[in-house]
Structure 1
């Protein structure tokens, strides 16, 4: 699917971004526009600006008006995501011959940042779905690509990434879910924890042990919903990310065809890590969107909120804080986009840069959102105001796709082992 066509057709929807709401929108914020010093369009090509605009429009019109409701009622917005897929956002960096948009990692970062201004939680799930589709597209054979990718790119079917287990989080290579080969099937036994979309999605990209201990004994298989022996735990109650369900995924003598294995036996850990390199950029990009929205929320609040006879925008301490927030936002964006470029070009520094981008952006963007909440005072703690949801939704970004402590390990290992 060519992305330029659908993007061009919807470019007329308008480019105003939803930046504040008591349940829907703060129109005065909409009128003020984006300050040039934090404009996320800087440095982009005309084509990138076009699909960035489409993503911003979609965030404002289709996501932001429902963001609070999806959070409070824990709604998985399937139809909204399928609308996003019609714009090419269901398989952004999947190849066009199986329905993908064929865009670059930088393009993808730009899109996820824009979408996250409308709803971080929903965009974060879309980013995980995209990662799974890319893994099948990249490591699957033609039959597997043709079987799974078109429905994933259209979001007729949804995907989940299954690596973490109750006993293996950061130490992913110690996973215990077993896959014993019997004839032309693998028999899976074990469980996965904290799986985004678990129970509501259709395709599970599962890392399982087909060999000995350690990373070389891990393989990757695709398990389809409805397979006998596949079941799910209770829906987890989370601080944020409430528009996507999270459950344990359980395998009890679950028979999966050998033809559903991606790559060769023992290649699964490598496939998982390569998926996560892009996933780290994706989740950092979602943090950028939240921080961008919160800088504008804070600015707008300072301009209208009065204390001691004048607006808060005249308080120099708050002016300096806002300046720091804007600076950290732009610095984070530049690092994320550099990492995206490095990964696209398969550079030798790509893994370290992806880790740096994930570490820096998710930490700093959380701090930006948290500071924006503080600037709102008591109002920031009310669920009528979007800022608290951005804070809740991006806190988990410092944990998933590899904790930020693990990011530090990866970066330091690279520094200490390269001669």
Structure 2
């Protein structure tokens, strides 16, 4: 009997089975990767998102742009502009619909803040600061606390600030000196906070203070109504830029806070603060993107009008290359911020890393682009008649707030080494 044809048939069948199971396993691996978000990069904008961005752009150009310099110079933010943002639904974007918010989509918030920051960074900072103040309630609050505070914050009826930084505790949160002692009925808060944005106009503050748990000092977080006796708002800081929204010292002297206003358990404050910053850092990044884009747009318009040696300076290759580099850097920063917002919105791993990357890279880009924008305008770029001077001053703050860019690099490195 000739066994060769039978053996050949068996080998063919085995080969087909091996190929089938091999490709099936490859397909399963791909599905696993996509499920975990390792290769899922589709954060392109929907038509709804594009329309929303266009509506905010129109609002920014028609209602905000003409007031930008006045807001920066006066140091006062007009209430009527705040009300317009409420009507546009911008203030409620970071919060879920059940709290009368716009859905809590970070990418949508980024789209709005980029458009506002491109014409008036002070205006973009208002809802950004509001979200920073409310985020401890979002990430660490009970449902009862959320129902009590978030709807009013989302509607703009109530303003809130984030009270973490102290004179001796900036990047080193653990060294804070503000204390909260439980006397059996209330927590008694004593201490000083510094550089607290919105403190003079806020109705509520999320305050971080040290409590004692198991004989160890831990940071705890509290929701504190600003009209509570014992709270004193210090002078407004005289800032180099972003003068249109206030930053103040806040003094707490025997301030009584009921235990139901504590966020989470005693000792959860540091975790709540870090989760808050992980979710809000992309917004600082997108403010930087918008501000940088505004500076580039101003520089391009100027170079197309300014003539030297018989030509507009936009025709000089050296300046063209500068503008090309600026545009590339802005787009790279924009895409990194969008990616970080997408990762956080999807609840994927890596949110802390991407948020730190987005904040650090975008704000460094903003500082460079605004510096180059001043250079492109030459002498007039240094004068207050042109917005490049304002963009330049404002860019510096973004490298410092919500964790300096040196701290962001520490966060990124820690995530990589995990």
Q: Same-fold call, TM > 0.5?
A: yes
Mapped to 2, the partners of 1:384 and 1:101 lie a distance apart of 37
Query: What is the aligned residue count?
Result: 376
Q: Give the Å deviation of 1:281.
A: 0.4
Does 1:132 find its partner at 2:139? no
Counterparts of residues 9-48 of structure 1 (less than 5 Å): 43-48=44-49
- Whole-Å Cα distance in 1 between the matches of residues 218 and 199 of structure 2? 25
Q: How far did residue 141 of structure 1 move?
A: 2.0
Partner of 1:380: 381
Unaligned runs of 5+ in 2: 1-42
Tell me how far 1:247 sits from its aligned partner: 0.4
RMSD over aligned CA atoms reads: 1.8
Does the 8 Å contact 2:367/2:392 carry over to 1?
yes
The alpha-carbon deviation at position 216 of structure 1 amounts to 7.2
Aligned equivalent of 1:292: 293
Question: 1:256-267 maps to which residues of 2 (within 5 A)?
Answer: 256-267=257-268
CA-to-aligned-CA distance 1:92-113 (integer Å, 9 cap, x gap): 1211111111142111111111
The alignment partner of 2:236 has SS state of: coil
Verify the 8 A CA contact 2:213 2:266 in the aligned structure 1. no
Counterpart-to-counterpart distance in 2, 1:192 and 1:101: 31
Superposed CA deviations along residues 33-82 of structure 1, whole A, max 9, x for unmatched, are xxxxxxxxx93111111111121122112221111001111112233122
Q: Which residue pairs with 1:325 in the alignment?
A: 326
* Distance apart, 1:212 and its partner CA: 5.8
How many Å separate the matches in 1 of 2:64 and 2:136? Answer: 27
What's the counterpart of residue 238 of structure 1? 239
Aligned residue runs from structure 1 range 19-168, under 5 A: 43-168=44-169
Does the C-alpha gap of structure 1 residues 333 and 213 become closer, same or farther in structure 2, counting only changes over 3 Å? farther
Determine the C-alpha separation between the residues in 2 that align with 1:407 and 1:401. 9
The answer as to whether partners of 2:132 and 2:161 remain within 8 angstroms in 1 is: no
- Corresponding residue of 1:178: 179
Structure 1: gaps of 5 or more residues: 1-41
| Structure 2 residue 348 is matched with structure 1 residue 347 | yes
**Is 1:402 paired with 2:395?**
no
Q: 1:89 to 1:234 in 2, by over 3 A?
A: same
- Residue in 1 that maps onto 2:250: 249
Q: Answer yes or no: is the 8 Å Cα contact 2:191–2:253 preserved in 1.
A: yes
The residue that corresponds to 2:275 in the other structure is 274
| SS of aligned partner of 1:137 | helix
Task: State how far apart, in whole Å, the 1-side matches of 2:215 and 2:328 are.
Answer: 42
Cα 1:50/1:71, change in 2 over 3 Å: same
Bigger mean CA offset, 361-370 vs 114-123: 114-123
- Give the deviation of 1:290 after TM superposition: 0.6
Cα separation, 1, equivalents of 2:184 and 2:365 = 51
Greater Cα radius of gyration, structure 1 or 2: 2
Q: Residue 57 of structure 1: SS of its match in structure 2?
A: helix
Contact 2:139–2:275, Cα closer than 8 Å, also in 1: no
- Paired residues of 1:94 and 1:134 also in contact (CA < 8 A): no
Structure 2 distance, partners of 1:48, 1:187, is 46
Structure 2 counterpart SS, 1:210: strand
**Distance between the aligned counterparts of 1:190 and 1:158, measured in 2?**
22
Q: Secondary structure at the match of 2:200?
A: coil
